Amino acid sequence: YTRDSTLFIKPELTSSWKGEEFLSSGNLDLWGMNGRGDVCTGNSYYGCSRVGSSSNIVNPVLSARLRTMSNFAFRYGR
């Protein structure tokens, strides 16, 4: 989100997005999540698909990231 022309990037708890029970019984599948034919960038160790169980929960924290589809300009500093 942005506030006063400042961009804030912060992670979020999975349970606040999908509910607490999702961690031990949900199916998190990030392949093509945005409907644009996304490519998984880290599939090792079940990186893009995870099914929660009592012995193997879905990752409890969703990482924050920025993504641009076409082009992006960035100016560092003032």
Per residue in 39-51, pLDDT (tens digit) is 676 767 767 788 8
Query: Do the beta carbons of residue 13 and residue 60 sit within 8 Å?
Result: yes
Note the pLDDT of residue 25: 94
Neighbours of 24 (CB within 10 A): 13
Structure token digits, residue 21: 């029970």
Return averaged pLDDT per consecutive 10 residues of the chain, 78 residues in all: 85 91 89 61 73 90 76 74
Note the pLDDT of residue 23: 93
DSSP 34: T
Structure token digits, residue 59: 């990752």
